[in-house]
């Protein structure tokens, strides 16, 4: 399937500061108690690159451009559904040229505002005063490279200013900013190799923390905390963590992560066969994206439990989207939170975006929907069809129901081996058509939404999506899989070592333990060895 990534829209949000329940386990500096972490081995730490999402947000902070400027870069290589897996990255001259072009635009934007330029160093460098220029280079560099420049770096950038400050100082300053924004210190996240496992240094840890929690470079407060060495203690680290988690940006980051995990970030490139789905218009996919973004944002603000994601019978819609779903228009203008019928709706599982992505252009797909549940919620992707098989989606025959069209999957023993893992889950979604709209009939017969969940820790018979959601919420395997998804996103890699598996079980316990939710799991992440320590590596 063609997956054209678009910037995922995130609505702004605000919520009360999180009350921490974990503190230092060994320092004795806090009064709260935390469970000991089972993993001490940090696992591998391949050098990461800013994703387009992170790059755009960082540029916006540094120069005042719109974050969407990052659309000028080639798309991130995506694997395991995430955009930040370090091993997948490659670079080409097109990348380099895109970085040049975007950096120049951002630099011109910053230097185009004398207030913003002056604010960088507290003096106006555009007059060419050497002291102020040097201050500007140092101050901008510290924010862009997420640490103070070394004297060699400072000197190199001042030299670049000298070579380019013609016809005027602004030209030189623009060149310096453009160069800094293409340098590895900004685009990549280099961390010095170590020969024995040891803590990540303060500034690198600040970078890890800011990108993990806010999807952007550290802010001034965080840089100052790093400079003071505050992040070296668990209490200092958690204080910054809690501060960042209270920002709107943390919610935006959660939306970005969840949209990738649930494979809904591709909704804006989904289209339907409009002769069969007559209400689907150009406006539908963006509206479905907006709806899901608001659903996730609301979940983050009001307690992002796994149960909420799986079961909450609420969503967000305006009059036009409500009309698309065949629901009454909500009271009030624009998008409003609406209560849905709990016998039909179940959190993300009945979001229009998810239903439409996991369907074909001309029919529903019990295979895609069932496969998602196996692969993304249980982390046990079914084996693919044997290479010798001619895999053909059934021809849409309006006289046949979906279930009848997929009958061969159970009649043919070879197909049945794997499709019994997927189709019987997917059939439970049959009340939701390929456009994500409720239907009572299929091929003029009442919809049969019965099915089975098998081979899991919560097996049972299904009848409709809420029955599936109810089983999923009780599953330790689903909780562990949700934690696995977060682990992959958070560390930009697959789980590889026994320590990784151990870390994931710690995360899962925080997600579903008493009072647990995604916010607490995110907070727990920063306590882990994989987050705070570097693995030993050969010296360069």
Partner 1 sequence: MKPISRRTVLRGVGGAAIALPFLEAMLPKRTRAATPPKRFFVMFSANGTIPTAWTPTVGGTDAGATAGTDAGVDAGAYQSFTLSPILTPLAAHQSDLVIIQGLLQEGGGGDGHQNGIGGMLTGSPLNPGPFAGVGAPPAGWPTGPSVDQRIAAGLAAPTPLRSLELGVQVGAADDYGRMIYQAANQPLPPIDDPVQVYNTVFSDLHTDPAVLAQQRARNKSILDAVGAEYTRIGTQVSAADKQRLDAHLQAVREIETRLTTDLTVNNPACSDPTVPAVDAQSNDSYPTVGGIMMDLLTMAFACDLTRVASLQWSRSVSQVRFTWLNIPDGHHDLSHHSDSDDVAVTKLIQINTWYAQQMAGLIDRLKSTPDAGGGTLFDNTLMLWSNELAKGNTHSRQDAPYVLAGNAGGALATGRFLSYEGQGLNHNNLLLALINAMGVPDTTFGEADWCTGPLTGLL
79 vs 336, beta carbon nearer partner 1? 79
Window 358 to 417, contacts with partner 1 (CB under 8 A) = 360-362, 383-388, 390-393, 395
Binding of partner 1 by 283 (CB under 8 A) = no
Rounded least distance, CB 96 to partner 1, Å: 4
Q: Kindly tell me which residue out of 66, 224, 271, 408 binds partner 1, with binding defined by CB under 8 A.
A: 271
Q: Rounded to whole angstroms, how far apart are CA atoms 441 and 122?
A: 68
**Where does this chain touch partner 1 (CB under 8 A) — which range of 81-89, 253-261, 338-346, 444-452?**
81-89
Binding of partner 1 by 327 (CB under 8 A) = no
What lies within 8 Å, CB to CB, of 36 at 6+ separation is: 25
Rounded least distance, CB 471 to partner 1, Å: 26
What lies within 8 Å, CB to CB, of 322 at 6+ separation is: 328, 329, 330, 338
Angle between helices 518-525 and 234-245 (to 10 degrees): 140
75 vs 460, beta carbon nearer partner 1? 75
Rounded least distance, CB 459 to partner 1, Å: 26
Q: Rounded to whole angstroms, how far apart are CA atoms 352 and 345?
A: 10
Letters for 7-46 (x = contact with partner 1 by CB under 8 A, - = none) are: ---------------------------------------x
137 vs 288, beta carbon nearer partner 1? 137
Count CB neighbours of 159 within 10 A.
11
48 vs 527, beta carbon nearer partner 1? 48
Binding of partner 1 by 357 (CB under 8 A) = no
Query: What are the φ and ψ backbone dihedral angles of 31, each rounded to 5 degrees?
Result: -95, -15
Asked whether the beta carbons of 64 and 109 are under 8 A apart, the reply is yes
Window 169 to 188, contacts with partner 1 (CB under 8 A) = 171, 175, 178-179, 182-185, 187-188
Window 142 to 171, contacts with partner 1 (CB under 8 A) = 152-153, 156-157, 159-160, 163-164, 171
Binding of partner 1 by 331 (CB under 8 A) = no
Q: Rounded to whole angstroms, how far apart are CA atoms 174 and 103?
A: 9
Query: What are the φ and ψ backbone dihedral angles of 107, each rounded to 5 degrees?
Result: -65, -45
Rounded least distance, CB 305 to partner 1, Å: 29
CA Rg value for the chain: 25
Rounded least distance, CB 407 to partner 1, Å: 16
Strand, coil or helix: 282: coil
Asked whether the beta carbons of 343 and 464 are under 8 A apart, the reply is yes
Q: How far is CA 210 from CA 225, 510, 526, in A?
A: 12, 21, 11
Number of residues that bind partner 1 (CB under 8 A): 76
Q: Kindly tell me which residue out of 7, 128, 193, 513 binds partner 1, with binding defined by CB under 8 A.
A: 193
Q: How far is CA 221 from CA 75, 146, 147, in A?
A: 31, 12, 13
Count CB neighbours of 425 within 10 A.
26
**Where does this chain touch partner 1 (CB under 8 A) — which range of 17-25, 204-212, 248-256, 269-277?**
269-277
Binding of partner 1 by 344 (CB under 8 A) = no
Task: Name the pairing type of β-strands 188-189 and 48-49.
Answer: antiparallel
Window 91 to 110, contacts with partner 1 (CB under 8 A) = 91-97, 100-101, 105
**Where does this chain touch partner 1 (CB under 8 A) — which range of 75-83, 124-132, 254-262, 478-486?**
75-83
17 vs 190, beta carbon nearer partner 1? 190
Count CB neighbours of 255 within 10 A.
25
Residue indicated by tokens 């998810």? 354
Of 91, 109, 105, the closest CA to residue 187 belongs to 91
Q: Kindly tell me which residue out of 33, 40, 87, 122 binds partner 1, with binding defined by CB under 8 A.
A: 87
Q: Kindly tell me which residue out of 85, 106, 238, 244 binds partner 1, with binding defined by CB under 8 A.
A: 85
Of 171, 342, 238, the closest CA to residue 30 belongs to 238
Rounded least distance, CB 272 to partner 1, Å: 9
Rounded least distance, CB 354 to partner 1, Å: 18
Handedness of CA 381, 42, 224, 160 (dihedral sign): negative
242 vs 537, beta carbon nearer partner 1? 537
91 vs 130, beta carbon nearer partner 1? 91
């Amino acid at each position: 399937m063609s997956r054209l990534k678009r910037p995922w829209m995130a609505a702004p949000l605000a919520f009360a500061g999180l009350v921490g329940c974990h503190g230092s386990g060994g320092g004795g500096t806090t009064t709260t108690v935390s469970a000991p972490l089972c993993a001490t081995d940090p696992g591998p730490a391949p050098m990461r690159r800013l994703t387009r999402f992170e790059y755009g947000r960082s540029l916006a902070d540094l120069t005042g451009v719109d974050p969407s400027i990052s659309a000028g870069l080639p798309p991130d290589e995506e694997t395991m559904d995430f955009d930040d897996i370090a091993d997948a990255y490659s670079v080409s001259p097109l990348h380099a040229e895109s970085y040049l072009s975007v950096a120049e635009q951002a630099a011109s934007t910053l230097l185009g505002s004398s207030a913003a330029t002056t604010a960088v160093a507290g003096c106006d460098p555009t007059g060419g005063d050497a002291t102020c220029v040097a201050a500007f280079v140092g101050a901008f560099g510290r924010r862009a490279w997420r640490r103070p420049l070394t004297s060699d770096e400072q000197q190199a950038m001042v030299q670049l200013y000298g070579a380019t400050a013609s016809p005027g100082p602004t030209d030189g300053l623009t060149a310096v900013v453009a160069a800094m924004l293409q340098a590895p210190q900004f685009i990549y996240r280099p961390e010095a190799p170590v020969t024995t496992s040891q803590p990540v240094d303060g500034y690198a840890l600040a970078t890890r923390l800011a990108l993990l929690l806010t999807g952007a470079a550290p802010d001034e407060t965080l840089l100052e905390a790093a400079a003071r060495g505050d992040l070296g203690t668990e209490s200092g680290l958690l204080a910054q963590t809690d501060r960042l988690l209270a920002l709107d940006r943390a919610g935006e980051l959660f939306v970005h992560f969840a949209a990738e995990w649930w494979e809904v970030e591709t909704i804006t490139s989904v289209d339907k066969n409009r002769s069969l789905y007559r209400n689907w218009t150009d406006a539908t996919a963006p509206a479905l994206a907006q709806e899901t973004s608001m659903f996730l944002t609301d979940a983050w603000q009001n307690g992002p439990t796994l149960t909420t994601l799986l079961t909450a019978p609420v969503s967000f819609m305006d009059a036009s989207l409500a009309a698309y779903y065949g629901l009454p228009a909500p009271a009030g203008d624009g998008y409003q939170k609406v209560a849905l019928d709990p016998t039909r709706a179940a959190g993300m599982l009945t979001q229009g975006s998810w239903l439409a992505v996991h369907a074909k252009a001309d029919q529903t797909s019990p295979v895609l929907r069932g496969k998602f549940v196996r692969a993304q919620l249980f982390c046990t992707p079914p084996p693919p069809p044997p290479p010798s098989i001619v895999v053909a989606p059934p021809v849409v025959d309006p006289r046949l129901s979906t279930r009848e069209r997929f009958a061969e999957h159970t009649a043919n023993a070879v197909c049945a081996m794997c499709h019994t893992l997927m189709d019987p889950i997917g059939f439970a979604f049959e009340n939701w058509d390929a456009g994500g709209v409720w239907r009572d009939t299929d091929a003029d017969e009442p919809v049969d939404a019965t099915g089975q969940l098998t081979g899991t820790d919560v097996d049972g018979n299904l009848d409709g999506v809420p029955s599936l959601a109810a089983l999923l919420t009780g599953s330790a395997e689903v909780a562990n899989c949700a934690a696995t998804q977060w682990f992959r996103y958070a560390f930009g890699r697959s789980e590889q070592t026994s320590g990784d598996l151990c870390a994931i079980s710690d995360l899962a316990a925080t997600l579903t333990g008493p009072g647990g939710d995604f916010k607490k799991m995110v907070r727990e992440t920063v306590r882990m060895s994989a987050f705070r320590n570097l693995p030993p590596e050969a010296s360069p």
